[in-house]
Structure 1
Amino acid sequence: MFRFLLKTLIVAGILFFGIIIGFQEANHGLLKMKGYADENFTGAFTVEEAANGEYEATILGETVTSHDLEGKKKILEEMNNYNFFTDIAKKVSNLISNFVTNLFPS
């Protein structure tokens, strides 16, 4: 089961990376077709060094900085860690385990 999950995650990661590369290639194709560079057409994924030495990444036009990520991390830590779907999954897992145990007693 673990190997299947690992393979699935690796394939999903490769496909996501391929999509980002496809966006970048489409951007280059648009620039080539247009014949000149336009400020409105930016890369799908760019990384630039800011004046203060930190790196800023731009993904599909949205700027992401380390301060943004730290702020989001603090917000997530402050939130209650209760996850409805995790709770439901645990209950379903226990239900199935109990059913199989009762169906096939040792």
Structure 2
Amino acid sequence: MKMFMFKSFCLAALLLIAVLTGMQLANNGIQKMKGYDDPNLETAVSIHDKDHNVRASFLGNDISSHDIAAKKKKLEEISAFNLFSSMGRKMSEGISGASEKLIDLIAE
């Protein structure tokens, strides 16, 4: 099981890298086809290093650790109560209970 999870994680990471590389190559191809640099056309992934301060951008949106911390806090606040999640949980418990009773009825 551990080896399967490891292989699955490695495969997912490889596919993510392949997709990002493909997006970057497509962007470079579009720039070559146009014949000039368009400032509105941004790279898929870019990393800037200025004075030991690393900044990254993904599809033109800047990414920083402060943004990630704020989003994590917001997700924790939002996930306090999720109506659809609780409805799904109750429905799954009901279906599981009904199927157990049906199997017990058939088995006897």
TM-score (norm 2): 0.69
Q: Is 1:65 matched with 2:64?
A: yes
Structure 1 unaligned regions, length at least 5: none
Q: Which residues in structure 2 correspond to 1:40-79 (within 5 Å)?
A: 40-51=40-51, 53-79=52-78
Task: State, as a whole percentage, how many aligned pairs show the same letter.
Answer: 34
Q: Is 1:99 matched with 2:90?
A: no
Instruction: Compare the two structures and name the one with the higher helix fraction.
Output: 2
Aligned to 2:38: 38
User: What is the aligned-residue RMSD (CA, Å)?
Assistant: 3.0
Question: Rg bigger for which structure?
Answer: 2
TM-score (norm 1): 0.70
- Aligned length in residues: 101
Structure 1 runs, 4 residues or longer, greater than 4 Å off:
9-17
| Offset, 1:62 | 0.9
- Quote the Cα distance in structure 2 between the aligned partners of 1:62 and 1:94: 41
